[in-house]
């Protein structure tokens, strides 16, 4: 998958504001707009707003100021003739394109491969006996596809999924479910496609031991081993205490 980015991306580059004590509000807003990684369509805007009304704007594509009110038209004509528009145009390369290139390199093209788990869940349908859950955790950026495969063929019936959930730390997670009736000798896999992967990865479901039973077996085995160790330790201690003891016959 190719790196994802919005088809009409707008980067709000900077914002500077001035507020007067008598209630007037005047601020500048600088924007960098682009929609492709080659940055050929990059556009720089400077917007001037007074009391929530935009009265003047510089547009790098037109390379001139545009006025939207009487005072805005007056200033646009002045700035377009005294060289201010040319000075603003320099920000297209020195401000927008440099910042956008860093954004693509350090954020947008940075990817993290998901951690994937396939496990048995509790079935909720009377039609099927088994429910599987395929979970993808801690991936970046968003934009992932989970697909269920049965003997190599995509399964669509009985499939549900959550939306991509944002974890609040740049990472995302998603969960997909498959309800079905298993058949002997078949293979069930969850296929994951994400921009961090060179090609989709498949994760096979192992039906040999259900996860709940597997956990109980592990706990039971651990308890048995611990009990055996304690028994051996007790026997060794008893033998050491018994060594050297003299038995006196009773009369």
Nearest alpha-carbon partner for 14 in 80, 82, 81, 96: 96
Describe the strand order of the beta sheet including 53-59 as a list of residue ranges: 9-19, 25-34, 43-50, 53-59, 64-67
| Cβ neighbours of 116 (radius 10 Å) | 18
pLDDT given for residue 219 in this prediction: 52
> Taking residues 131-157, what's their average pLDDT?
95
Kind and range of the H or E run holding 227: helix 211-242
pLDDT above 50 for 6: no
Q: Return the higher-pLDDT residue of 108 and 15.
A: 108
Measured at the CA of 36, the angle between CA 195 and CA 99, to 5 degrees, comes to 95
Q: Rounded to whole angstroms, what are the CA distances from 203 to 33, 112, 122, 136, 152?
A: 40, 18, 20, 11, 12
pLDDT given for residue 15 in this prediction: 46
Joined together, the tokens standing for residue 196 give 């961090």
Rounded CA gap, 155 and 187, in Å?
12
pLDDT above 80 for 50: yes
pLDDT given for residue 1 in this prediction: 41
What is the average pLDDT value for the chain, to the nearest integer?
81
For residue range 63-106, list pLDDT tens digits in order: 999 999 999 999 999 999 999 999 999 999 999 999 888 888 77
pLDDT above 90 for 143: yes
Q: Which domains does the chain have, with CATH numbers?
A: 9-108 (3.10.320.10), 115-204 (2.60.40.10)
Percent of the chain with pLDDT over 70: 73
Nearest alpha-carbon partner for 176 in 119, 129, 232, 221: 119
For residue range 208-238, list pLDDT tens digits in order: 855 554 444 445 555 555 666 666 666 555 5
pLDDT given for residue 38 in this prediction: 86
- Residue 76, phi-psi category: left (phi > 0), alpha (psi -120 to 50), beta (remainder): alpha
């Amino acid at each position: 998958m190719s790196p994802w980015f919005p088809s009409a991306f707008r980067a709000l580059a900077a914002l500077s504001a001035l507020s007067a004590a008598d209630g007037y509000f005047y601020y500048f807003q600088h924007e960098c707009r682009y929609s492709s990684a080659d940055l050929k369509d990059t556009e720089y805007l400077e917007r001037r707003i007074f009391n929530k009304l935009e009265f003047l704007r510089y547009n790098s594509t037109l390379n001139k100021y545009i006025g939207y009110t009487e005072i805005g038209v007056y200033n646009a004509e002045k700035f377009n003739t005294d060289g201010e528009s040319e000075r603003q145009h320099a920000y297209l390369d020195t401000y927008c394109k440099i910042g956008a290139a860093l954004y693509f390199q350090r954020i947008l093209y940075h990817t993290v491969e998901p951690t994937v788990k396939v496990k048995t869940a509790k079935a909720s349908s009377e039609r099927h006996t088994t429910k599987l859950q395929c979970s993808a955790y801690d991936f970046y950026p968003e934009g992932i596809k989970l697909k269920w495969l049965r003997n190599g063929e995509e399964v669509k019936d009985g499939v549900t999924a959550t939306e991509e959930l944002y974890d609040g730390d740049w990472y995302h997670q998603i969960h997909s479910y498959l309800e079905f009736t298993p058949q002997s000798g078949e293979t069930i896999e969850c296929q994951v496609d994400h921009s961090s992967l060179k090609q989709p990865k498949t994760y096979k479901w192992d039906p040999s031991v259900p996860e709940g039973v597997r956990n109980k077996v592990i706990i039971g085995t651990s308890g048995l081993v611990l009990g055996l160790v304690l028994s051996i330790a007790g026997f060794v201690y008893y033998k050491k205490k018994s060594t050297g003891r003299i038995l006196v016959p009773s009369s």
